[in-house]
Amino acid sequence: MNTPSEQPGHEWSEPDLSAVVGERRQLINLAYRLLGSLAEAEDAVQETYTRWYAMSRQQQEAIESPGAWLTTVAGRICLDLLGSARARRERYVGAWIPEPLPDRTEWISGRAGGGSAEPADPADRITLDESVNMAFLVVLESMTPAERVAFILHDVFRYPFAEVAAIVGRTPAACRQLASSARRRIRAAHAPAVPAAGQAALVRDFKEAWEAKDINALVDLLDPDATMTADGGGMVGTVLRPVEGSEHIAQYLIHIADKAPGLTLLERTVNGRPGLVAQHSGVTVTVAAFSLTGDRITRIWAVRNPEKLRPWTEHGPS
């Protein structure tokens, strides 16, 4: 993408540059939550800026709030992408899981130019909070595009319904209803929060039991009705349907350990929660996120699609 100074006929002042480029972090955060895909979020934000820079200087100066304009355009682009996502998901091989995000502080020693003021990797611009944990993103996937956009804009980013309506193309009252419906979905799927220290300890116990190939220990750590879903995207081998039940999951994990000797398991933050990264010969091959209830693991999401592991494979530990 061209920078403002590269646009012919545009003499950009520093305030212009700050007002427009300064919105990028917010737009990346918004687009990732709306799309569940870092790659698609990058594309949506790129398209947003392309439309801004395609306008004449006079058109740009007529816009009272560049930030609001950029958000509106990005929101509409994401809404269009969500509208076509269902058809893309139907063609997807196996289960589709949102792209996992690392905590950049855990990779910082392996980053080239890690101390730069503006990180090159958009994953570094994503704020890791409750609205990006994997369980939350999976629930978002069950919403209609309009529900998802209305809910994220209003409940997560605190945009008033009048502004949400301009993006979604519905009345403020209709957007209020959409957000309310989305909240009901969130509440229905909500599990009691487990303290961070407890989450980390449980994931560590799971890692150690897997490394030891202790099937009984694995079964004890898993809820009897636990589910494991894997996403290989048809690019790598993995189960195409969810594995259900603690014993079946434990047996499958032992099978993987036997089939892939030399697999290294690392404790890492995945979408703001304790998770695991599996590496083979120093290459990240799987990123696993967990949902916990009490002292048991209830859901495991294992992302193996290499296209979804870019932030992990390009910036792994040194």
Residue 286 has pLDDT above 50, yes or no: yes
Q: How many independent structural domains does the chain possess?
A: 2
Q: Is residue 186 part of a domain?
A: no
Q: Which residue has the higher pLDDT, 281 or 214?
A: 214
The arithmetic mean of pLDDT across residues 128-145, rounded, is: 92
Residue count (the chain): 318
pTM: 0.86
Q: DSSP letter for 117, please.
A: S
Q: Which residue has the tokens 């967990």?
A: 290
The arithmetic mean of pLDDT across residues 286-296, rounded, is: 94
The 3-state DSSP class for residue 62 equals coil
Residue 11 has pLDDT above 70, yes or no: no
**Final residue of a structural domain among 39, 72, 91:** 91
Q: Is residue 238 part of a domain?
A: yes
Tell me the per-residue pLDDT of 236-261, one tens digit each, with 9 for 90 and over: 888 889 999 999 999 999 999 898 88
Q: Is residue 276 part of a domain?
A: yes
Mean pLDDT, all residues of the chain? 87
Q: Is residue 201 part of a domain?
A: yes
CATH code of the domain covering residue 276: 3.10.450.50
Q: Is residue 7 part of a domain?
A: yes
User: Per mean pLDDT, which range of 36-45, 88-97, 146-155 is the poorest?
Assistant: 88-97
pLDDT of residue 16: 65
Q: Is residue 30 part of a domain?
A: yes
pLDDT of residue 191: 66
Q: How far apart are CA 33 and CA 172, in angstroms?
A: 21
Tell me the per-residue pLDDT of 81-99, one tens digit each, with 9 for 90 and over: 999 887 787 788 889 999 9
Task: Provide the residue range defining the domain that includes 241.
Answer: 196-313
pLDDT of residue 87: 77
Q: Is residue 213 part of a domain?
A: yes
**Final residue of a structural domain among 91, 114, 149:** 91
pLDDT of residue 85: 82
Residue 15 has pLDDT above 50, yes or no: no
**Final residue of a structural domain among 91, 120, 145:** 91
pLDDT of residue 249: 98
Q: DSSP letter for 271, please.
A: T
In 3D space, the residue among 261, 273, 277 whose CA is nearest the CA of residue 207 turns out to be 277
In 3D space, the residue among 68, 71, 64 whose CA is nearest the CA of residue 48 turns out to be 71
The arithmetic mean of pLDDT across residues 133-141, rounded, is: 94
pLDDT of residue 208: 97
Q: Is residue 171 part of a domain?
A: no
